[in-house]
Structure 1
């Protein structure tokens, strides 16, 4: 059975691959190699496999090349989009900063106005109280004068009755000189009393008119104060809320931060001191409470501004740069393995200026293994920033730096593939994404 099957297969192969002989001739001998159908089939299959492998490999290389080109183009498009977004955010940050400065100037002007208006209001209130006291004195004098007038009239009536009873006797013997003198004295007293009464009434009317005018002026001043208070409250809301939102977006406890800053800036006095008018044991007025609320908001705004300079809300590179790598796990450009990238990378030319992102103290400024030339700055609130792969370091250990101060130049020292800045933010020794702080400050600075 096997012989028949082999004969059939051999017959079929003979049709397509007939037996061939390859002659090898030399000077003294001639030999040949017989190529049976089976050997030819194996050779054909081997050659076909090699050709197919070459075709497939070429196709894979072409597809990979095309895919890589598309990926690079996409990366370039993403880079251009990101750079345009960063430029837009930088312009918007500058606009917000200018608006904040203008709002601060308007706020200072309004504060001066409210101080002046408050002084005028206190003076008007004192004047009004004096007028009320004068009116009370005038009214008391008027009541006393009216009583004296009524008493004089009663005396006059009694005298007239007495004169009527003695009229007949007075007609026969003539008027008594004493009686005539008493009548004249009474008439003079009545005239003086009436004149004094008229003068007091006129003075009272003038005082009431002046009090009405003063009340009208006080009402106008109160309306002006209310308008100024509203403007100040709106300005405080516009200024404080973005800062509060910025700190919360960065995951920072605002109450704890403000307490910590307040401990370092605990002096008092000047225009931000709460109002403490003497109220004779009474509750402060509504305007006083309102002014104190605004002053408290001003204090909160100033504390926020101080805290903002002590946290890394700025970008360490102000010149043109390319954002090449973000925070998180990535493929290591050196080994090809997967590892955590604990910061963000900003690529640019060698020598690009690098700046501190917050106020702090330099705790490291030298070479550090794979980081190359490294600067570490310790900030408030347990925050530390790191600036790696520098070409040149421009600060020393123990030096106190401010936000925006130049600390070094971009370079390619340490374990790198090209010149760039590796920027880290660590809170309590743990690396966090620096973009949390940078993005949180986009709408504020």
Structure 2
């Protein structure tokens, strides 16, 4: 009896200890999974906040650039009007100067003629001529002189007024030229900030796709063919150059719009290329891509408990969902750009052939089916049918997202 009780007590203690240990393990896994999910959600919120801030900054700077360009165009119109008025004023001033010289010459000649007439009148008076005739000749000469003097004074006043108007126009033109220089400097600062923001935003995306072995220009051309709509805020700007050379500010603005378009196309491409990680819960890497035991291990293995959720790493269409020899329960997803992802050794499949899935959508549960030594996910990325290292895509996406 004591031995039986001892065995019973020992068994009870073992069961209780195993229960405690199993509960602790499950609790730790649950806490770890929760922390990982919370961290992933925080990272996603930070990324979305950064994108929203960049978008708001981009829109604000673009509005400032457009407003500045409108003010610049208005100032150019004012300068053109002032220059035209200044040219007309200068022509009129030259005409008045010429007319003034003619009037002055005529006045001098008339005054000489008047002096000659006076001399003649004196001689006629001395010779006993008719006094009434002498008076009429004298009054006619005086009237001509007064008329010319009046015309000379009026012409001089007009000349002085035009000179004042011309001086005002010159001073106003100088003020507008100063405003134009200040406006140009402000435009240049706005464009410089926008260009720096675009460079900071575009270069990491270029590097991400190059790191994944994809040519950015070819990739964007393919995306653009699928999204070939025109118009909207990214329509190229066209400012009037009055028949002259292309406006440099318009060229810079269109370059910025081109960068914005490139970012938008990258966003579309990133949703359709597998830059995400298929496991969000806690896991450990057990085997990487490369040669193993004399043959190619065509993917990356993520080990975790049976039932761990598996997620699609990009938008695509399920082309296979079932049993496949050594893969066990397998899901294949065809993405754009000739990319396919494979998710093997699952315990349960949650999608079917022909189903469209989105990035981050759950497609199955981790398991130990097929040729496997333990619960894990065997994850592959194939481009044009050839396997590539999945970690290239995962690391490239983590560097940006």
Q: TM-score range by the shorter chain?
A: 0.7 to 0.9
Deviation at 1:427, TM superposition (A): 1.2
For residue 442 of structure 1, the aligned residue among 390, 398, 401 is 398
Structure 1 residues 207, 275: CA separation in 2 closer, same or farther (over 3 Å shift)? same
Partner of 2:195: 233
Partner of 1:130: 81
- RMSD over aligned CA atoms reads 2.8
Number of aligned residues = 356
- The secondary structure found in structure 1 opposite 2:314 is coil
Partner of 1:315: 277
Partner of 1:47: none
Partner of 1:220: 182
CA distance in 2 between counterparts of 1:118 and 1:430 reads 51
Deviation at 1:269, TM superposition (A): 1.7
- 1:139 matched to 2:96? The reply is no
CA distance in 2 between counterparts of 1:241 and 1:198 reads 64
Structure 1 residues 344, 442: CA separation in 2 closer, same or farther (over 3 Å shift)? same
Deviation at 1:133, TM superposition (A): 0.9
Deviation at 1:398, TM superposition (A): 2.2
- 1:155 matched to 2:155? The reply is no
Structure having the higher Rg:
1
For residue 286 of structure 2, the aligned residue among 324, 333, 348 is 324
Partner of 1:106: 57
Deviation at 1:94, TM superposition (A): 7.0
Segments of 5+ residues of structure 1 without an aligned counterpart are 1-83, 332-337
> Is the CA contact (8 Å cut-off) linking 1:114 and 1:225 kept in structure 2?
yes
> Is the CA contact (8 Å cut-off) linking 1:347 and 1:421 kept in structure 2?
yes
TM-score (norm 2): 0.80
- 1:383 matched to 2:339? The reply is yes
> Is the CA contact (8 Å cut-off) linking 1:93 and 1:443 kept in structure 2?
no
CA distance in 2 between counterparts of 1:344 and 1:393 reads 19
Partner of 1:289: 251
Deviation at 1:136, TM superposition (A): 0.7
CA distance in 2 between counterparts of 1:251 and 1:94 reads 28
CA distance in 2 between counterparts of 1:203 and 1:247 reads 64
Deviation at 1:235, TM superposition (A): 1.2
Segments of 5+ residues of structure 2 without an aligned counterpart are 1-34, 126-133
Deviation at 1:118, TM superposition (A): 1.1
For residue 303 of structure 1, the aligned residue among 259, 265, 270 is 265
User: After superposition, what is the alpha-carbon deviation per residue over 1:420-439, rounded to whole angstroms, capped at 9, x for unaligned?
Assistant: 32211111112221001112
For residue 204 of structure 1, the aligned residue among 166, 173, 197 is 166
- The secondary structure found in structure 2 opposite 1:284 is coil
For residue 402 of structure 1, the aligned residue among 358, 374, 393 is 358
CA distance in 2 between counterparts of 1:117 and 1:267 reads 28
Deviation at 1:323, TM superposition (A): 2.2
> Is the CA contact (8 Å cut-off) linking 2:36 and 2:281 kept in structure 1?
no
- The secondary structure found in structure 2 opposite 1:390 is strand
CA distance in 2 between counterparts of 1:178 and 1:265 reads 92
Partner of 1:35: none
Structure 1 residues 252, 94: CA separation in 2 closer, same or farther (over 3 Å shift)? farther
CA distance in 2 between counterparts of 1:100 and 1:378 reads 28
For residue 347 of structure 1, the aligned residue among 303, 309, 326 is 303
> Is the CA contact (8 Å cut-off) linking 2:211 and 2:392 kept in structure 1?
yes
> Is the CA contact (8 Å cut-off) linking 1:96 and 1:443 kept in structure 2?
no
CA distance in 1 between counterparts of 2:243 and 2:80 reads 18
- The secondary structure found in structure 1 opposite 2:232 is coil
Deviation at 1:443, TM superposition (A): 1.9
